[in-house]
Structure 1
Amino acid sequence: MIAGNMKILNLATLPKSLYDILSHPEFSLEKLQALPDGKYQPEGAKWFCNVGDSQTSPAETRHTEFHKNYLDIQLILEGEEIINYSLTNAIGQSAVEKKPDLYILNNPVLTNGILLRAGDFVTFYPGEPHQALCMVKAPATVRKAVFKVPKEII
């Protein structure tokens, strides 16, 4: 897991492949904030980005997920959320595959959390369990860009 802010991207110590994605001219924070909901993928790129609004809710109502083939970069465009996570490898733990490469853990143990606001991002590598969209004080709308990066280009 790596966390950072788009305004000081060079401090995040991202691998070059991830730095190149987040510094892509089409995907600056300001341009992402102006995009309508949808899926975006530069021509020829193996990675893509989904932009849209979601609702935060109490952590106890949120699922914990992990991926095997994709890394997530979760970037907050508007609002705030807490993402709970664990510094463990979830691959091999009891989970259900809800859709391709989206595994929901049956009995997650999350020991950490991070508060994210506009411009903040966090990466979750394959196998890293995370529980997104946890409310800060009350349920609220958060606008996010979620980049899906195939593990072979990390």
Structure 2
Amino acid sequence: MFFGDLNRQDYKRGLPQVIVDICEQLNTMNLDDLTVGRHDLTADIYMNVQTLTTEAAEKRKSEFHRKYIDVQVLISGKESLDYSLAFPDDKDYTPYNSDDDYQLTLTHDLAHKNTLTLSPKQFVVFLPYEVHKPCCNVEGETYEIKKLVVKIPIDLL
């Protein structure tokens, strides 16, 4: 997992080159003007732009991916993301959805939970098998958010 802030001059320090390239591309865009839906960034990399309402973490399910890296960038609002450093145990998750590359937890609990809160232009990168629960309320407050999630095949790392 990596996290950073596209507003900082040094946001790319220590990031793998493919993530640096995507962040540089994002920094040339007017993120506020992006339309909701899928946008292809390269032949292999795409992003989904979403507008959502955050929810209490207790109501959200965790997820992880196998084939794709998630680069989640908050465009507007505030969002907390719960995550775990524990390796996921398949028995605690739904069957793998290979078409959309995800598994969801069977419960709302997250073992060894940590929380990260994002403000606009901050990002978090989740590698395959890193469990995360996005779109959570911030300190009990609900927010309308706009965010994007870039999907990078792990093979490009």
Q: Please indicate, yes or no, whether the TM-score normalized by the shorter chain is above 0.5.
A: yes
1:15 and 2:16 correspond: yes
After TM superposition, list the pairs within 5 Å mapping 1:2-151 onto structure 2. Answer: 2-8=2-8, 10-12=10-12, 13-24=14-25, 27-28=26-27, 31-42=30-41, 44-90=42-88, 92-97=90-95, 99=97, 100-107=100-107, 108-136=110-138, 137-151=140-154
Q: 1:113 to 1:97 in 2, by over 3 A?
A: same
Structure (1 or 2) with the greater strand fraction: 1
Q: How far apart in 2 are the matches of 1:144 and 1:16?
A: 22
Q: 1:98 to 1:86 in 2, by over 3 A?
A: same
Aligned partner letter, 1:142? I
Q: 1:87 to 1:143 in 2, by over 3 A?
A: same
C-alpha contact 1:57 1:134 (8 A) present in aligned 2: yes
Give 1:47 shift: 0.9
C-alpha contact 1:93 1:105 (8 A) present in aligned 2: no
C-alpha contact 1:126 1:151 (8 A) present in aligned 2: yes
SS of 1:96's equivalent in the other structure is coil
Q: How far apart in 1 are the matches of 2:31 and 2:23?
A: 11
C-alpha contact 1:39 1:51 (8 A) present in aligned 2: yes
State the percentage of identical aligned residues: 28
How many equivalent pairs are there? 151
C-alpha contact 1:84 1:110 (8 A) present in aligned 2: no
Gaps of 5+ in 2: none
C-alpha contact 1:38 1:51 (8 A) present in aligned 2: yes
Q: How far apart in 2 are the matches of 1:28 and 1:114?
A: 22
Structure (1 or 2) with the greater helix fraction: 1
What TM-score results when the alignment is normalised by the length of structure 2?
0.87
Q: 1:9 to 1:67 in 2, by over 3 A?
A: farther
